[in-house]
């Protein structure tokens, strides 16, 4: 990513990795020890460049996977990794729905618009 903005900092504080639910941090990704690097949002646990998702969305996705044993990646061995990939996939879908319904703003989930349920 380019320069770190206030929105990036807020997003890091508010959001989590859509695979593992872990925290995001800004990381200098060094691709050349003699002067090549970029700053990217990163999940240390998954060791990947990660833009993340709202925590509420992650919780919904994880609950769905848990309840329904949802598996989009049929050709993969069912393990922790495939479960995380499925969670990430669902986060994208739920994120899109929330966005289409106007439930996400610049500062994340607009809680006033949500019905009262436990996420």
Partner 1 sequence: MITAEEITIRRGVRQVVHDVSWKIGANERWILFGLNGCGKTTLLRALAGYLGVNKGSIQIDGVPLNKENKTEWRIRSGFVSSSFFNQCYRTEPVLDIVLSGLYGHLGVAGRAGAAEIIKAKALLRELGLGSKHQYPFDTLSSGQQQKVLLARALIHEPDMLILDEPFTGLDILGRMQVQELLNEWMEKDGRSMISVTHHCDEITPAYTHAALMKNGKLFETGFIQDVFDSESVSAFLEKSVDVSWHNGQLKIDIPDYR
Residue entry with tokens 């200098």: 28
- Paired tokens of 91: 């986060």
Q: Which two tokens stand for residue 45?
A: 């646990």
If one asks whether residue 90 binds partner 1 (CB under 8 A), the answer comes out as no
Number of residues near partner 1 (by CB under 8 A): 24
Query: How many angstroms separate the CA atoms of 56 and 16, rounded?
Result: 9
H helix intervals, the chain: 6-14, 55-68, 80-100
Q: Is 47 in the site for partner 1 (CB under 8 A)?
A: yes
Residue 23 has what DSSP assignment?
B
Nearer residue to partner 1 within complex by CB, 6 or 112? 6
CB of 78 to partner 1, least distance (A): 15
> If binding is defined by CB under 8 A, does position 73 make contact with partner 1?
yes
Output 27 or 63, the one with its CB closest to partner 1.
Answer: 27
Instruction: Summarize as ranges the residues that interact with partner 1 (CB under 8 A).
Output: 1-2, 29, 31-32, 34-36, 38, 40-41, 46-52, 72-73, 81, 85, 88-89
């Amino acid at each position: 990513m380019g320069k770190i903005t206030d929105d990036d900092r807020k997003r890091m504080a508010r959001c989590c990795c859509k695979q593992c639910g872990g925290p995001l941090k800004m990381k200098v990704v060094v691709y050349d020890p003699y002067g090549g690097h970029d700053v990217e949002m990163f999940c240390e646990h998954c060791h990947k460049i990660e833009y993340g998702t709202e925590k509420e969305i992650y919780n919904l996705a994880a609950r769905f996977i848990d309840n329904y044993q949802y598996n989009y990646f049929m050709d993969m061995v069912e393990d922790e990794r495939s479960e995380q990939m499925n969670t990430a996939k669902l986060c994208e879908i739920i994120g899109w729905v929330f966005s289409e319904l106007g439930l996400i703003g610049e500062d994340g989930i607009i809680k006033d618009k949500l019905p009262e349920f436990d996420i």
